[in-house]
Structure 1
C-alpha cells in the first residue's frame, strides 16, 4: 500500500509542478497511510484510500479508513521508534484533522500550503 501511495503522490506532484515540497508531502502522506494501517485496518478484508488533491493554494492529503476512533497524537518516550507520525504531520502541514464518515469510518487529512508551482516545472 505504501509503495502505491508514494507512486500516486509522485505522479500528482509532477503533474502539478510541485517538486520543492515533494519530500514533505510524501512524508505526510506516508505517515497518514501508516497510521491508518497500524490503527484502523484490522484484517485483509478492510481497506484504506489515499486521496491527494490540489485545492487553490494547498495540497490536501487525505486517508480514508474504517475506524471511527479519532487519531490521537502520542508523546513517545525518548528512544522509542514509533509514535511520532502525527507529530510529524502537525509540524509539516498548515493544519490537519479528521472527519467521521457516518458509521463507516473516517477521513484523516492534512493541508500543505503551496506558494507557486516550481519554475519551469523543475
Structure 2
C-alpha cells in the first residue's frame, strides 16, 4: 500500500466518503476480510470523532504500510485528546476509542506543532 491521503470536509456527511476510500485501499491490497473490516471501521470512528470533537474545515486521513501492518492516521485541528470511555453498550455514543483500543495492535496521538492532533493506529495485515 503506497502512502496515500484523503482530505474530507469536517462534517458528518464526510464519513461515507472516508469509509469508501479506506475500503477500496484495503481491497486493492488484498487484505483478508477480517482485516479489511477492522481497517474500515477504525478510521470511520476516528473521522467521526474528528468531526464531532475536532476543529477546522477538513479532516485528513493517511494510510500506509509498515512491514506487516497497515498504519492509518486521522488528523484534525482540534486540541481535545481522545478518551477511551468505559461506558457499557447500553449508553449511546462514546464507543469509538474503545473499539480502536481493542481492535488495533497499537494506537496513539501525536500533537501537531501548530496545534491539532493526529490519532493513529496499527493493524496486522495477516488475519489471526
- TM-score bracket, normalised by the shorter chain, equals 0.7 to 0.9
Residues 75-95 of structure 1 deviation map (CA, whole Å, 9 limit, x = unaligned) = 225521111110001111001
Please show how residues 32-47 of structure 1 align to structure 2 within 5 Å.
32-41=46-55, 46-47=57-58
Structure 1 residue ranges (4+ consecutive) displaced by more than 3 angstroms after TM superposition:
none
SS, match of residue 58 in structure 2 = coil
TM-score (structure 1 length as normaliser): 0.84
Distance in 1, Cα, partners of 2:91 & 2:109: 25
Distance in 2, Cα, partners of 1:51 & 1:80: 30
Task: Please report how far the alpha carbon of residue 67 of structure 1 lies from its aligned counterpart in structure 2 after TM superposition.
Answer: 1.3
TM-score (structure 2 length as normaliser): 0.80
Q: Which residue of 58, 72, 80 corresponds with 2:69?
A: 58
Distance in 1, Cα, partners of 2:114 & 2:80: 11
Distance in 1, Cα, partners of 2:71 & 2:58: 20
Distance in 1, Cα, partners of 2:75 & 2:48: 12
Task: Please report how far the alpha carbon of residue 14 of structure 1 lies from its aligned counterpart in structure 2 after TM superposition.
Answer: 1.7
Q: Which residue of 83, 97, 100 corresponds with 2:111?
A: 100
Structure ID, larger Rg: 1
Please show how residues 1-122 of structure 1 align to structure 2 within 5 Å.
1-20=14-33, 21-41=35-55, 46-77=57-88, 79-115=90-126
The count of corresponding residues between Structure 1 and Structure 2 is 113
Q: Which 5+ residue runs of structure 2 have no aligned equivalent?
A: 1-13
Indicate conservation of the 8 Å contact 2:107/2:119, yes or no. Answer: yes
Distance in 2, Cα, partners of 1:75 & 1:93: 17
Residues 20-76 of structure 1 deviation map (CA, whole Å, 9 limit, x = unaligned) = 2111111111111111111113xxx62111112122110111100001222111222
Distance in 1, Cα, partners of 2:41 & 2:126: 19
